[in-house]
Structure 1
Amino acid sequence: MQYDQPVDVLTNVDYILFDNKYERVLRQLGDQVQLRAATVADGVRKLV
């Protein structure tokens, strides 16, 4: 991962954030995963 490049996946100890383009595949996993919408904002570069 490079500092200046947005990525499709962000990870943390408690969760993993995927780009919306993966939603269809993730929904096929049924009860194996919990899906919730999230918005990631970069205040420095004014990106959402």
Structure 2
Amino acid sequence: MTDEDIVFDAKENNNTAALEYLINKYRNFVRAKARSYFLIGADREDI
């Protein structure tokens, strides 16, 4: 199953397990990209 299929399933069928799978799969990628941004007074999780 492709990520596109999983997104479709999460959206159209309100499949929370599919959404959790995608969040966990891309969590480290998003954090790595967000590290390059800086916001004064913000926590890492705010970005």
* TM-score between both structures, scaled by the size of structure 2: 0.34
Higher normalized helix content (fraction of residues): 2
Higher normalized strand content (fraction of residues): 1
* TM-score between both structures, scaled by the size of structure 1: 0.34
Larger of the two Rg values belongs to structure: 2
Name the structure, 1 or 2, with higher relative contact order (CA <8 Å, separation 6+). Answer: 2
